[in-house]
Each structure stands twice: as C-alpha cells, then as structure tokens.
Chain A
Amino acid sequence: MRHLKHIRVVLALFFFLPILLFFIDFTGKLPLQLHQFLSIQLIPALLSWNIIVIPILIILSLLFGRIYCSTICPLGVLQDILAFKSRFFRKKNKKYRFKYAAPHNLIRYSILGLTVLLFVFGSSFLIMLLDPYSIFGRFVSQILRPIVIWGNNGLATFLSSLDNYTLYMVRQSLFVPLTFGISLFFFLLVGAMAWFRGRLFCNTICPVGTFLGLLSNYSFFKIAIEESSCTSCGLCAKHCKSQCINSAEKSIDDSRCVSCFNCISTCKTGGVKYDFRYKKALPKKAETLETTGSAKQLSNNGRRTFLLTSGAILTSVAVLNARSIAGKRDSIHLRKPIMPPGADDITRFNGQCTGCQLCVTKCPMEVLKPAALQYGITGIMQPHLMFSTHVFCTYDCNICSTVCPTGALKPLPIEEKKLKQIGIAKLRIDMCVVTTDETDCGACSEHCPTQAVHMIPYKNGLTIPEVTDNLCIGCGGCESICPVRPYQAIYVEGTRTQLLAKKPEEATKFEKVIDDFGF
C-alpha cells in the first residue's frame, strides 16, 4: 500500500518529462510522435472528439479517482514539484504544513458552469484560458523555453569563438507582450497557490479538476481513514496537498482528493487505506463539508478581489495592445490574420484552439506566433503566421497540423499542405524596387515555391513580379524577403476559409543533347 505513492511519482514523471522536453526541444530532434502524450490530455481530447481517450479517462476516474490530476496532467505535476521544492525553504518543523481547509464550492462550480455554458454557446474562451494543459504549455513556451534558448546561445557563442560548432545559435521567438503577460500571470497564480496551498488551483479554479472531482465522488477505489487503526495523529492531513483530509472528523473530501497517496505512505499505523469503497460513500459527512464551505466563503473576499483586479489588468493590457496596432496605418497592419495550414475555417479554428503553443514551439521556421488581437479578444494566444526576414512557412512541412492535440489544425498530408491556401500575396507594384529604383530584384519570385509570384518583362531588360492568385498558397516567402521596408511591397493577406490552390504547372522538359561548350 505504501508503494502506491512511488508508483504515482514514477507515472507522473513518465508523463511529465516527455511533455516538458517536447515543448522545450528547439533542435527538432525529439520524435514528433511525442504529441501522443498531449492527445491524451482531457480538454484536447474533448475538443477533438477523441472517442478512444475520453471514455478511457472517464472510466479511469470512475475507477481510481483523480489520478489524471496526479499523473497525466503536466500542470498538476508541475504544482507537485513546486510544492515539493517549497519544503526546502521552510523550517524543519514546518515542512509539512498543510491543514484541512474547506472547499471553495461557489467559485469552483461557478467557473466550471461558466466554462461549459460559454462553450455550449460557441465560445471556448474560458477553456483556452483555464485548460491546465494549455496553461502548462504557455508557461514552458513563453517563460522556460526562452531561458533555455538564451543559455544555449550564450554557450554557442562561447564555443564558436573556440571554433567549436557543436551548439548553434537558435532564434528567440518573438516577444508577444499579451501572451507573455497572460502566461506569466497564470504561472505566478498557479505557482503561488501551489507553493503555499498545494493543489488549491486544481480544486478551486481548474475546470478539469472540478469536473473530475464530480466524477471521483463516485469512484470505485477511494482513500478513507479506518476508524479502527487511526490514532488521530493528524499526520495525513499535514501531508495532504489537497487539504481535503479532516483528521478530526476522520473524513476525506473525495471530490478534492487527487489520489496522490501521500497520506497512505505517511500514516504510521496504516490507518489510511485505498480500497474498493463503491457502496461506502458517506453522504452525511460530505454535506457537513459543504455547509462549512459556504460559511468560510465569506472570508475569501480578499482572494476574489485579487482575481478581479488581475482580470482588469489583463483587459487593459489587451486594450493597450489593440491601440498600438490601430496606430499604425499601412494596409499591411489591417490585413486578415493568417491561420496555420489545416485550420480550414476561421470560426471552427478559433473555437477549437486552446492556445497551448505546441505548434508555435514545434514550427521549425518559427513563423507561428501567438496572436495578440489579430483574431479578436477571444482569439488571443492562438497561433497565426508572422513573416520576417528568412521567416516564412516551409513548403514541404506539415508539423503544426501533425502535432496539434485539439484538432484545431486538421492533419494535412504533405501533398495537400503544398496546395493549402492559407493566404494570398498582394503585390503593391508602385512600391516595388523594380518600379522605384529601376533595378533588378526578384527576391519575391526567388522565394516563391509555386512560382505564383513570377517575373515578367518590364523595360530595359528588367523584369518585374506578377502574382497568379490561384497558384499562391500564402507561404510568405515573398513577403519575408522583399527588401522594401518597413512595409513590404508584397504581403500575404490571410484567408478566412482555406481552399486548395491550383497545382503549379511543370516546365517543358529540355530534350536536346548538348555536346558543345558554347565557347
């Protein structure tokens, strides 16, 4: 029985480490198949109607309680790691300092209710903001990964000065204040809650935790205190990071227990047991818990104010961001956003993407960036393409649509990807250097994989670009390399529905045999 905790820790690391490394990996060396670890996350599985994963997760919770929260959920494991670390910053006698606390039922059921309600009415805004997996993804991609890359680049610079090129420089992803702000806010929120109160976030804010908590009230296997062998020493409650063990009343709040088994391994008398208890549910005690809970609610005003204020801060950041965009006048800033290939339709995509940033971190060209307000307020943090010098969508790459766990990007076979029209190039011929300087350039056509942008005769032996719309797939090669700055003479306008472009025609083959040098 005591080994249950160790099994839990091993399982947690088994899920946590691959997910963490997959998000951090900037070399592209880890296999893309690792995205399977993300497809089994509850929210992505729900959004993509994964008919294998959803039943398994529900059955798992009905059988064993919230082991999902303790092992599969990376944010849950991250909190455990933080809570574990916090121990080393405490005095010896206060290391295990948890005590029973009443649940914040009003908050947790309101958040769950609101999230579901909004989703039913077609907005996944709250899901995007609160899905624990996506919060974790944003924390790694926005905060941890840049630090790792920064370290890599420092070391690479040092090594290259010694003529060693084992490490190479990696481009830092673009800093998007809004996304960074939200990621940092949630990291601080989750981090502080975990540091001081263990799994408070999971049991108060996380809609997934609340949902699984409802299920685990009815689970077959549960932890309970055996009256016969309990000495009421209270050790289990001190070790309970969910703060759900009331050792005075010898009761456990099943809806908040994440099945971490710490209590079992800490109990000296074997008084806490994990057992088949389907019929032994204790409705009476649960009721008393609820009443004490709502009484305590009143004293939580401070926390609520904190949440409200932070919400207000976020909104003002968003508004400021919107202002700064509206301030720039070139039509390039008013273009429709460019969705990643496989998004298909803007409404569907916006409703299904949780902004987890996986595609953003896996994009080898780093052309995918989290949106500020390009998709509107409900689409913040969802990926869109942003071109800059040498940064555009690679012709035969479909990684983003391969790894997307929520189905917001549908898997695209490579041949289809090469035709997927994520946008169409708009040429502003009066700004082109061939027109303004009367010199050759052709950088746009040079980078065009389909030759939708091609050169036609101009004057004095010069050639000038021309765009054939139905060949253009919107990869942005042209925009990325156009030397006209700050506003390019050619840019890509996103499509709201991604259609297929015409297949480019091949050149006529040269059949003659050349057997002379010609000079």
Chain B
Amino acid sequence: MKRRDFFKSAAFAGVASVFSSKVFGTSNAMSVSSTPDMVAIMGGEPEEMLLRAFKELGGISSYVSKGDKVVIKPNIGWDRKPELAANTNPLLVGALVKLCKSAGASEIIVFDHTCHDWQKSYTNSGIEKAVIAAGGKMVPGNDESYYREINLPQGVNLKKTKIHKSILDCDVWFNLPILKHHGGAKNSISLKNLMGIVWERGYFHSHNLHQCIADAATFHKKPALNIVDAYRIMKSNGPQGKSESDVVMLKSLIVSADYVAADTAAMKLFSQVEPTELKDVKYIALAEKLKVGTQNLEKLNVKRIKM
C-alpha cells in the first residue's frame, strides 16, 4: 500500500467511524441489552438517586437530544408545602430540569392541571422556584384554551380527551409523580398522574374513574420515563393529606418507561407501610388489559440499588 493510499483510507475510516456513531447511535443503545427495564433505588437524596438512575439507564442523552423541547409533568395538584408530600419533591423536579438542560434541551416546560389554585400550588409546592432556578419554565394549565383534543382509539370509556398542548407539541416528556394514598382511586402514582395532563377531569369521575385512567394511558405519546418520587410518601388522607403524620420517609425512587410496571412496583413498596391489595387499585390491571404495560415484574430486568 502506498503511503498516500494509507492516509486516504485512514481518513476515510476515521470519518466513517464518526459518522456511524452519529447515525447508528440508537442501534448502539439497543445493542446494550443490559439496560434495565426498571431501576429502583433506596437510601439516597432525591438528586443523587436520580443521577444514579440515569447512569444505569445509559445517561440522559439516551432520552434527550440537543435542541429538544422537553416537558416534565410532576404532581403539583395541591397548595401544600413539600414536607406534606402532596406534590412531587421540588428537589427531584429541579434535578431533572438541570439534567435535561445539561443534555442540551432547548426548552424545559413544567406544568400541572392543579386541583387547588394554580399559582398558590406552583409557589407553595416549592416547584416553581426549583424549576426556574434550574433554567426551566413554568407554564399555566388553568384554562381550557391551553388544551387540544386528541382521540384515544383504544380507550374503552374515554374515546377522546383534551390534552395540554405543551405535551402534544414537545419532543420528549417525563412523567414525574409522587407515591400517595388516594381517597378516590386508592393510590396515585404514574397512571393517576396523567389526570393532570387532561382538561376535563370530571368526566373521569362520572364514567368509571379506573377505566378512564387506564384509557388515558393509551395516549399515543408515552413519556420517555415514569419517575416515581417515593422519597417522602403520603400513607393516609390522600391526596391532600392533613399533617406530617400522613407522611413516611422511604427515600426511594422507581424509574421505568412502563406505567404499569412502575405502579405495580410502587404499590408493593407502599404496601409495606399501608397494606393495600394491588387488585383494588383497579386502574393498574385495566391498563395492563389495554396492553399499556405489565404487572409481571419477574419478566422485567429490574435493577435494585441501595445507596
């Protein structure tokens, strides 16, 4: 081989390798079959558990690309301070915003269709402050004009619903619920958190709550991940809670792209505090029936980590 040819081919190969890693980046991730279906972490602070989870899942860049519009949907339903565990932990929300920012997201939007006054909920939950400090943007969800109607062809009772346009228009979104007891739905985790992306919630309650929650999960644009905040959980008097006596520190985090698996795992964690029959949280089984996910954790690659 002539020297010139060698340089030529070497340069070629070099360019090709750079090229291939860009183009075939996704196939690269797929080939790493050891990426877990679920990561469960216990014993850390919210931010360190989140970072650890993403490390196990191949890093934030496997979910967020440069220039992406990202939406994060925590539970900010109530005008309650963080210690009462009625809303997602602000430290966790802030940490996720920061992480998306580091992955080069062009915009990170956070919202919820709140039950209490939206401004008070945003402020007193501590979430607004954490999000803005981390470089994200809070967006209102208090008016029907922010929502657009979509069809749910696989829904049983809920055939169409109005969903917040920031979710419809984003590149990727994260579902960020908190694990709570719930007077109506028994428990509120990632599937129940979907009620905060829709406008007409009264319909859910009057048309079989559990079925409607399961139907909402058939929404075609699935979150990249469900990140269940179980740092502080509300064991009783949910979803608002009355006092800090309703709160239990579990210092845990459950992360999975599968709604049903995330909720099943979260319920097993919850049952150690407040024994609850999984079958009574009916929307979980109903969602599985609609092929949204699986309750069978044995079949999944679950990574359990204690910090």
Q: Is the interface of A mostly helix, strand, loop or mixed?
A: loop
Specify which of A395, A484, A504, A517 is in contact with B304 (CB 8 Å cutoff): A517
Tell me the count of chain B residues lying within 8 A, CB to CB, of chain A: 60
B248 to chain A: which residues have CB within 8 Å?
510, 514
B40 to chain A: which residues have CB within 8 Å?
517, 519
Q: Mark A499-519, 1 if CB is under 8 A from B, else 0.
A: 000001011111010111111
A508–B246 Cα gap in the complex (Å)? 8
A395–B143 Cα gap in the complex (Å)? 22
Check B265 against A165 for contact (C-beta < 8 Å).
no
B133 to chain A, nearest CB (A): 18
A25 at the interface (CB under 8 A from B): no
Q: A442-B184, A443-B184, A519-B265 are in contact. Are A507 and B206 (CB under 8 A)?
A: no
B184 to chain A: which residues have CB within 8 Å?
440-443, 445-446, 455
A512–B249 Cα gap in the complex (Å)? 10
Q: A504-B242, A510-B248, A515-B42 are in contact. Are A439 and B208 (CB under 8 A)?
A: yes
A389–B203 Cα gap in the complex (Å)? 12
A169–B139 Cα gap in the complex (Å)? 11
Q: Mark B195-221, 1 if CB is under 8 A from A, else 0.
A: 000000011111011110000000000
Specify which of B139, B246, B268, B280 is in contact with A461 (CB 8 Å cutoff): B280
Check B304 against A169 for contact (C-beta < 8 Å).
no
**Contact size class for A?**
35 or more
A250 at the interface (CB under 8 A from B): no
Specify which of A365, A484, A507, A518 is in contact with B117 (CB 8 Å cutoff): A365
B224 at the interface (CB under 8 A from A): no
Specify which of A437, A445, A506, A514 is in contact with B272 (CB 8 Å cutoff): A514
A302–B220 Cα gap in the complex (Å)? 71
A433 at the interface (CB under 8 A from B): yes
A5 at the interface (CB under 8 A from B): no
Q: A440-B184, A443-B184, A507-B236 are in contact. Are A483 and B205 (CB under 8 A)?
A: yes
Specify which of A433, A507, A517 is in contact with B205 (CB 8 Å cutoff): A433
Q: Closest residue to B234 on the A side, CB-wise? A: A507
A165 to chain B: which residues have CB within 8 Å?
137-140
Check A446 against B245 for contact (C-beta < 8 Å).
no
A514 to chain B: which residues have CB within 8 Å?
248, 250, 269, 272-273
Check B79 against A394 for contact (C-beta < 8 Å).
yes
Check B142 against A169 for contact (C-beta < 8 Å).
yes
A180 at the interface (CB under 8 A from B): no
In A441-457, which residues have CB < 8 Å from any B CB?
441-443, 445-451, 454-455
* Known contacts A165-B138, A507-B243, A517-B252; 7 further A-B pairs (Cβ under 8 A): A394-B120, A440-B184, A446-B184, A463-B183, A508-B245, A519-B264, A519-B297
Closest 4 CB pairs of A and B: A442-B184, A169-B143, A483-B206, A483-B205
A-B contact pairs, 11 of them (CB 8 A): A165-B140, A394-B79, A440-B208, A442-B183, A446-B184, A507-B246, A510-B235, A514-B250, A515-B42, A517-B268, A519-B264
